[in-house]
Amino acid sequence: MTMKFDINLADQRVSDADREQLLASPGFGQIFTEHMITIEWDAESGWHNAQLRPYGPLSLDPATKVLHYGQELFEGLKAYRQPDGSIVSFRPRANAARFNASGERMAMPPLPEDVFVEALELLVSTDRDWVPTQEGHSLYLRPFMIATEVGMGINAPSSTYLFCVIASPSATYFSGAIRPVSVWLSQDYTRAAVGGTGAAKCGGNYAGAFVAQQQAIAEGCDQVVWLDAVEHRWIEEMGGMNMFFVYGSGSSARIMTPALTGTLLPGITRDSLLKLAPDLGIPVTEDRISIEEWEAGCLSGEITETFACGTAAVITAVGRAKGPKGSWTVGDGEPGPVTKRLREELVGIQYGSQPDPHSWIHKLV
């Protein structure tokens, strides 16, 4: 399916000098390009009124459903500048598929994957000057969908929706990217339970997480680690990242990540590492690990490294963990060789310095 987009360009573009200045240290999700995509949906017309238009505020009636009940979805992926100046993204169809899987859970209409990808191509090609050339930086793309019906009934989902894509030049999520993070094992709060929305990328999952993240910071940690809802023992994932545990070292190193139980977000980086690591001779498993096993494994040396992975965070080492009963160091507290190797390979594919054996790279411009 191809969509006909109305093109309405911004009257004023940011000057080259001002853009350069903004791109010098963009932070994460702080600055935005000059355009955005919007497409509307209703039952009669399906997806319609597709527009590329100047970036700007949306006007919503105060009784719009999304404002009250949070019927919303989002995705996150990046556009990467290549050595030849072209611009690519990484597995955008996987994001499109996850967007629709999330939509199914939230009773929202599917967007054809081709339209999702076309929207990215059009926005990035229009705002291509905003795709950073600085090493490790990228243009973070944020597709999202909101319920736009006006009315506060809760007997049925919204009858109308707005799909939107905005773009934000960004550095990596963690400043000083390579510094390992410390994590707080949340006992007081639960992110997701069986039958809930944990596997969907909906805003509410993140709204409910802020208080635990605040607690993590108050405990002197960078990030919260979520445990299962029933026993509060089994490690699920982090705030915006999946987790991997490295067992052993050298040629006998292997990696394990918590299995997708329906309460974790099925990360695309996670899935990519499950395919990439075996290429490098590193066996992978999907299993489960409790906090006690993690701590004991770190103390005995069986677990040598732990890292978190996601689009925004890429691959980030976990150096220390803290729970109510105490804290421990993972390995020597520094990023280990398996973490560094996997990061190098993944980033190499994304930025075009390594071959792409799984055809994950999609040229946008």
Please give the backbone phi and psi of residue 187, each rounded to the nearest 5 degrees, phi first: -100, -30
**39 near 45, Cβ under 8 Å?**
no
The distance of closest approach from Cβ of residue 166 to ligand COI in the complex, given in angstroms and rounded to an integer, is 13
- Residue appearing with tokens 């994950």: 360
Are 315 and 342 a contacting pair, CB within 8 Å? yes
Nearest-angstrom CA–CA distance, 279 and 72: 37
Task: Return d(Cα 17, Cα 302) in angstroms, integer.
Answer: 52
Query: Counting runs of H as helices and runs of E as strands, what totals does the chain give?
Result: 9, 18
Shortest distance, position 156 Cβ to ligand COI, whole Å: 28
Stretch that binds ligand PLP, among 102-110, 247-255, 261-269, 284-292 (CB under 6 A): 261-269
Q: Please pick, from the candidates 216, 265, 273, 321, the single residue that binds ligand PLP as defined by CB under 6 A.
A: 265
Q: Is 311 in the site for ligand PLP (CB under 6 A)?
A: yes
Contact partner at residue 165 from ligand PLP, ligand COI, none, CB < 5 to 8 Å by partner kind:
none
Which CB sits closer to ligand COI, 88 or 312? 312
Number of residues that bind ligand COI (CB under 6 A): 5
Query: Among 311, 316, 339, 350, which residue interacts with ligand COI (rule: CB under 6 A)?
Result: 311
CA distances from 288 to 156, 237, 255, 258, 341 (A): 37, 11, 12, 5, 23
For residue 92, state whether it binds ligand COI (rule: CB under 6 A). no
197: tokens are 């929305």
223 vs 311 by CB, closer to ligand COI: 311
CB of 180 to ligand COI, least distance (A): 18
Binding part of the chain for ligand COI, among 7-15, 143-151, 183-191, 309-317 by CB under 6 A, reads 309-317
Piece of 7-15, 103-111, 209-217, 306-314 that binds ligand COI (CB under 6 A): 306-314
> What phi and psi, each to the nearest 5 degrees, are found at residue 106?
-100, 15
What contacts 340, CB < 8 A, 6 or more positions away?
none
Q: Determine, following the binding rule CB under 6 A, whether residue 213 of this chain makes contact with ligand PLP.
A: no
Which amino acid, one-letter code, is at 15?
S
Q: Which residues sit at the interface with ligand PLP, rule CB under 6 A? A: 76, 237, 240-242, 265, 267-270, 310-311
